[in-house]
Chains A and B, each alone.
Chain A
Amino acid sequence: MATTGVMRPGHIQLRVLDIDESVEFYKNMLGLVETGRDAQGRVYFKAWDERDHNSVILRQADRAGMDLMGFKVKDRATLEQFDKDLQAYGVATERIPAGELLETGERVRFTTPTGHVMELYADKTDVGNGQPYTNPDPWIPAAEHGIAPHRFDHCLLYGPNIEENLKLFTEVLGFHLVERILMEDGEALLATFISCSHKAHDLAFVCHPEPGRLHHLSFLLGSWEQVLRAADIMSMNKVSIDIGPTRHGVTRGTTIYAFDPSGNRFETFCGGYETYPDHQPLTWTFDEVGTGIFYHDRKLNDRFLGVVT
């Protein structure tokens, strides 16, 4: 599929309880590259293999969770069109001026039916991945510092109205449904996994009464061996591990989940499969939801399902 329209998740702004402790964690345990700090005290990071200036932004606050998530769109004309399309669909939008986030162009902000603040933007400074654009090597020393994921990959978010939310993302923003989990009645949606690209998911939502919750943000690794290495680094540093290493039934990814020092869950994962918009969605029934979520345990996990920020 040609990647047009919304191209990929581009940034996430997280609330943390102690900025210094969190910077240390994201920089040296997770192994992101710090790229800047702004006048508000926000700290900017990117994964080593990402080219744009920032993908993870930390803000000190009195509660944990996600402030917002941003998606990069193909160009400014696309950004203008999405703003019109969102408004025509009945979604209020707001313009955030260029530079409000470091090295990032103007953003179009809106709130999803699940209560999450989302942004679209067309411009973010290309700072490269540490390699030249001519005759590059395959990796750099930063690729071995800490867990060192390749990129910020996707989020799983919890909130209400996920049917309405699915319509917004598929009918206005050009995502396609890749997998879904059904409720006990066999009709209502418990969870949706949607893609704007070839990836098995760029976003996922789970039905939940409280709006705007973060279940996890996810970082891509290159191999199952690196998932195991990530688990080792987490234990070396006494990181709060949630579950894993294991495999998902949904998307087939291999994974380990853990929590940052403020209790925001993150995933470091590898694999999954590639999707196209003509692929029919995969469906998981409620009685197999345990298998869908954790393919080896094959049962529901209260903490994984119930703990969010």
Chain B
Amino acid sequence: MERLPRSIAATPAEGEQAALGAARREAEATAAARTYFAVTVADTGEAFRCGEHETLLAGMERLGKCGIPVGCRGGGCGVCKVRIESGAFCARAMSREHVSAEEEGAGIVLACRVKPLSDIRLAVLGKMKKKVCA
């Protein structure tokens, strides 16, 4: 589970405030210890820093960068299809309508479902490529 919904209903009771503070400090420590990698979009030469905790697409968007077309961000629409030319990554399930098992085995993936495990170099394949790279 990556996106745990946050409770929005309740205001924490006083006794819970200290625990929340500890949780926040722990989250900040985790963030500080994260590893980041360099992701390069071969088509444009655009490069950005992407954390091991976030997808290639999320890393790009968070820094206001472009190069990979952005669609649904959920592995369903196929717009952010890329070929990983070099580098290691881990991938979550993505729509087989857009990425076959063979393609996935050959490093063709959706950037919204892939997190980096090393520096990455990729080429854009998605159908909205022209609009983003023009």
Q: Which residues of A contact B (CB under 8 A)?
A: 17-18, 20-21, 24-25, 28-29, 62-65, 144-146, 233, 236-240, 242, 259-265, 302-303, 306-309
How many residue pairs, one in A and one in B, have C-beta atoms under 8 Å apart? 98
- Alpha-carbon gap, A147 to B5, bound state (A): 11
17 further A-B contacts with Cβ under 8 Å, apart from A237-B6, A265-B72, A306-B128, are A17-B93, A17-B94, A17-B95, A24-B3, A28-B5, A62-B93, A62-B95, A62-B96, A63-B76, A63-B96, A63-B98, A64-B76, A64-B77, A64-B97, A262-B95, A309-B72, A309-B95
**Shortest Cβ distance from residue B103 to the other chain A in the assembled complex, whole angstroms:** 13
B74 contacts partner chain A, Cβ-Cβ < 8 Å: yes
Closest chain A residue to B79 by CB distance? A307
- Alpha-carbon gap, A239 to B6, bound state (A): 11
Closest chain A residue to B73 by CB distance? A240
**Shortest Cβ distance from residue B16 to the other chain A in the assembled complex, whole angstroms:** 18
Pairwise interchain contact B75-A262, C-beta atoms closer than 8 A: yes
- Residues 1-29 of B, flagged 1 when their CB comes within 8 A of A and 0 if not, give 11111101100000000000000000000
Q: Which among B8, B71, B96, B127 is the interface contact of A263 at CB below 8 angstroms?
A: B71
- Residue pairs across A and B with Cβ atoms less than 8 A apart, 26 shown, are A17-B92, A20-B1, A21-B1, A21-B3, A24-B4, A63-B76, A64-B74, A64-B75, A64-B95, A64-B97, A237-B3, A242-B72, A259-B73, A261-B74, A262-B75, A262-B76, A263-B74, A263-B75, A264-B74, A265-B72, A302-B131, A306-B128, A307-B71, A308-B77, A309-B72, A309-B77
Pairwise interchain contact A18-B93, C-beta atoms closer than 8 A: yes
**In which size bucket is the chain B interface?**
20 to 34
Restricting to B42-90, which residues have a CB under 8 Å from any CB of A? 70-77, 79
- Alpha-carbon gap, A65 to B97, bound state (A): 10
Q: Which among A17, A144, A239, A302 is the interface contact of B76 at CB below 8 angstroms?
A: A17
